[in-house]
Structure 1
């Protein structure tokens, strides 16, 4: 059977793609190997009617809803290889199954590479987070730190200051801030620490203090950290999809990549804030664009 669309990635973007395509009576397969970027997250926020939900519970509900649409099938496995043959995409899954589809959408997301700090994994997702809009409310009014080794340090600390008046920024030995930026931050009571961090200290995921290589330390109860983002899958590269300046898949206004028949959406674009509700919305738009493309092909003379 030839499918209308194959969706790779079962996060909020991919799930919403499948939902809208299913409601459009498009024969669709959704691949989800359940290796989410936010595996350390126990609560997702900012999605109306689902604020505070466990991401795995959200996925369970979404997949259950997809079961109402007979044209959608969910494959809980990874795609090993994708090729193109006679105008169709050929997808080979881990279990050996082969799927043929007219259109392909990549909703594979990205991976976070954390700074090389001792014990950082213990605190990430519990008291150190990447998104103030997602977790700032839970950390409000506490003594917090922004830890960043890249050029977005100034922006991140400005945003984080919305949730606390007791804030510092640590650049872990990197000279990231200009004299003007440091002056602005210090005028707002935000101290800048450029010394390399020796270790993070705390218990059961709760940060207690940051120790520097000099032996100095400062008490903190949590904060925000800036990971490096990379594509979670190499499928887009193997298919020749262009990337944008941030390393995300480049698309036009119709979610089309530079490769005919391939669309992309969600966090894999790396085009804005990484929030569940925005990824889901992007998936809905991508599905509408795919449906429009299929309709135009149907009526093409």
Structure 2
């Protein structure tokens, strides 16, 4: 790519990043989208809870978005990984793994997060298919099935309360000693939600669809699906390099305008919100793009 200077660089080209690019491209802002092409939902067969695209694959939604963005000459795409960033001469300089450098007045981070999958045989093959993270994104499709909740404490209790409306066969697998308040235990008992204080050895599945969960004590129990609360990390370390504050959940701290704690830097999508969904990513990206355009307008008008 010959062009090196832009008004805005967006790091991450999935739903949030593409939505931000749309707002900027329609305002004729010279925008570069840098994307490594590894979205966290690439294994998920269908996306849901997003008007007009309910049931589409994540790839189909992204391809439609990109085909529409190509119409805007002010938007350019770079296939690669952004690896570092710094402030330089009143702007930001971003370098890539390929050794390329680009500069811009504003940055938008939309690189998302990386799920840290547990070392359980079969887990990764089922992740996003029948072992899922969100009842809103996947719950309807796995309703009325025997369901495991692989979590403990407050997170497990929260998931159980939501999933209870979708199926009546629920068991919480705590992978160790249970960690619930007395009131929570009474509520779980009231709704006949079993608690299994065993560690999981493996998940038996057929093409990513759960059939049995095998425990380290050698016992096996049949399940058809599972919810799991697992740790994650930011896909990009550049926000921390540039001094952006992180939340207690290790996400990029933003205000309601998607502004980070560093002037000129914005964040949207999964790297700045615990509410992981396509619809919310698109919404936050649109806000970020509009606010960035507003700042550039004030600076240039």
What TM-score range do you get, normalising by the shorter chain? over 0.9
Picking from 214, 218, 223, the partner of 1:220 is 223
Q: How far apart, CA to CA, are the structure 2 residues paired with 1:259 and 1:232?
A: 19
Aligned to 1:171: 174
Extract unaligned runs of 5+ from structure 2.
Answer: none
2:190 maps to what in 1? 187
Deviating more after overlay: 136-145 vs 87-96: 87-96
Offset of residue 81 of structure 1: 2.0
> 1:141-165, CA deviations, whole angstroms, 9 ceiling, x for partnerless residues?
1111111146411101111112111
Please name the residue that 1:291 is paired with: 293
2:40 is aligned, of 37, 42, 45, to 37
**C-alpha separation in 2, matches of 1:95 and 1:214:** 48
Q: How does 1:69-218 map to 2 (within 5 A)?
A: 69-149=72-152, 151-218=154-221
Deviation at 1:166, TM superposition (A): 1.0
SS in 2 for 1:43: coil
Equivalents in 2 of 1:240, 1:105: separation in Å?
14
TM-score, length basis structure 2: 0.94
How far does residue 191 in structure 1 lie from its aligned partner after superposition?
0.7
Q: Distance in 2 between matches of 1:211 and 1:33?
A: 36
**Is the 1:150–1:226 contact (alpha carbons within 8 Å) kept by the matching residues of 2?**
no
Contact 1:129 1:135 in 2 (8 A): yes
Contact 2:153/2:179 (8 A) holds in 1 = yes
Q: Residues 285 and 145 (structure 1 numbering): CA distance in 2 closer, same or farther, change over 3 Å? A: same
Equivalent residue of 1:138, what SS?
coil
Query: Residues 9-61 of structure 1, C-alpha deviation per residue, up to 9 Å, x if partnerless?
Result: 01100000001100011110001110111121121111111111111121111
- State the match for 2:19 in structure 1: 16
Contact 2:122-2:205 within 8 A present in 1 as well:
no
Give the TM-score normalised by the residue count of structure 1.
0.94
Query: Secondary structure in 1 aligned to 2:257?
Result: coil
Instruction: Tell me the alpha carbon deviations over residues 35-93 of structure 1, each in whole angstroms, 9 at most, x when there is no partner.
Output: 11112112111111111111112111111111110100011111132111111111222
CA-based RMSD of the aligned residues comes to 1.5
**Count of residues in Structure 1 that have an aligned counterpart in Structure 2:** 298
How far is 1:261 from its partner? 1.0
What SS does structure 1 have at the residue aligned with 2:296?
helix
1:83-136 CA distances to partner (integer Å, 9 max, x unpaired)?
111111112223333211110111111111123323211221221111111111
